Chain A
Amino acid sequence: MIRIKKVDNRPLTLLERLYFTEVAAGMLVTLRHFFRNLFKPSNIVTVSYPEERLPLPGNARLRTRHRLKVRADGTPKCVACYMCQTACPAYCIDITAAEYNDGNPAEKYPRGFDIDLSRCVMCGMCVEACPEDAIAMDTGDIPGGALTREELMMDKRELLRNLPGEPSLLGASTRLHNEWDRKVKKK
């Protein structure tokens, strides 16, 4: 339903055109906020990211940091087909393929699987392209800033280690968050 708000376009009264009363009325509003927030900071809506984080609204459609899924036996589901690397518009995936020589039906696996998050645009093309459903962007972890480039490089170990929900060790913002998290939990 469309709600219509009628704007009252009457000409200003003399008192309003003198500004002073209107300015005073405006200042009453801002001052109320000022003093309320001064004495009761809990009203402030700012979330001090990255130390504090709001729970993300439903993970289903969110593209967050990548992870590589594993099979029941712990081997990566990825078959090193290079689909994701080809699809990636930011050229930030770097896969080194290797062969299983033990008769494993998967035949290939990634020896190295690096994603450079400093270039990644979080578009999710890699997830779409993967024929094996091996790569996912559902960790719920939004890569924030880092103090060095290396901190934003994810290698295979990092990608495989982080199961959804598990706090990652990646990046300065995450580190700050984890410190804060630990402090809050201690209390």
Chain B
Amino acid sequence: MTLPIPDFILLNKGPLVFLGVSFLKVCVVFGAVMGFAALLTLAERKVSALMQDRVGPNRASVFGFALGGLFHPAADGLKLIFKEDFVPRWGDKFLFTLAPLLALFPVLLLFAALPFGNYIDIAGLRINLQIADFNLGVLFILAVSSLAIYGAFLSGWASRNNFALLGSLRAAAQMISYEVALGLTLVGVLMVYGTASLQDIAQAQGELLFGWLPAWGIVYQPFAFLLFLAAAQAENKRTPFDVVEGESEIIGYFLEYSSMRFASFMFSEFIEIIVISMLAATLFFGGWQVPYLQASGFVFPWGTEIPLNHYLVVLLQVGSISVKTVFFSWLLLVIRWTVPRFRFDQVMTLCWKGLLPLALLNILVTGVLIWWLA
């Protein structure tokens, strides 16, 4: 007996499959990102503890098993859910509710443009391992991440609290300034690869320079990478650039927030770490590329070839970007716990008098080199 398939499905098979696959990709990426961000909240505390000769959180346990503090993110989440959901009496209730959402959603949206693999063939269906393959991926990321400023700014405004408002002023000034520097540090990479699509950039990094050196962005643009790291850390508002929040003595823009609203600000910061790490990996460290791994298997420059199954190759590629992302997240945590905080004028000076001219210089040198080599 054949199942009666409605004409609608038959007629729209292509779009429906696309929808289903996209939905699946969104679910997988969302789950992975949220899980990793939760683990990052723990990693932040564990890494800082180890750096300071402490043991870090290790008390939350289930049936007596603490597993080195693995249950702490869950315990924190539970605790935050049961905290009082406070809204300041004279605050703007609508904007107050909107602000944490505006902080969280743009950073989540960024993962749409970040490729986490090349493509996978399942039953003749070629699935691009990226949620949305824009040809303007980098610009999309810059545009959407700048939306997060609204979250920071509205939260201070809607709280009707002078300290929170001052915090948001600092946040807005810092984020907008570093947005400029961040964008300019990436221009060099775009010039080298001649495209703004992150998938294309990742693919271009699979080629070999001089026949043996993987053509990763760091090889072409080592200087831009350092600038990018500095600008990204500032954009993320973490130490050494955390005058915005200054949790130990200054007061930040989410002063009046409690419960899950506060958690969404906190969480968006951790998700931003993942975005930055993934972006750094994609632009400067080959993205999902494994050195010498072609679609058919390993091809080494000295002639050895190891043919590999297609699914194994895909697994290696996804593993590669994951490992790189984890490594850079860890590096960002280490930087955050190493460098003391800048003063606010120093933060601004560094941006407008340091990073910005250097980024422009980098663009100039890159342009001259490209023109000279061509």
Residues of A within 8 A of B (CB): 19-20, 23, 26-27, 29-31, 33-34, 37-38, 41, 43-46, 48
Contacts and interface: CB of A to CB of B under 8 A. Distances in A.
B53 A45 contact: yes
A150 B338 CA distance: 45
Nearest to B58: A48
Contacts of B129: none
B238 to A, nearest CB: 14
Interface residues of B, number: 15
Contacts of B335: 23, 27
B54 A34 contact: no
A87 B52 CA distance: 44
B53 A30 contact: no
B339 interface: yes
A26 B339 contact: yes
B334 A27 contact: yes
Interface of B: 47, 50-55, 226, 230, 334-335, 337-339, 350
A76 B188 CA distance: 85
B259 to A, nearest CB: 25
B338 A30 contact: yes
Contact of A33 (B53, B339, B350): B53
A46 B334 CA distance: 20
Contact of A20 (B47, B55, B226): B226
Nearest to A27: B338
B343 to A, nearest CB: 14
Given A20-B226, A44-B54, A46-B55, A34 B339 contact: no
A167 B307 CA distance: 67
Contact of B55 (A29, A34, A44): A44
A46 B54 contact: yes
B145 to A, nearest CB: 24
Nearest to A26: B338
B334 A37 contact: no
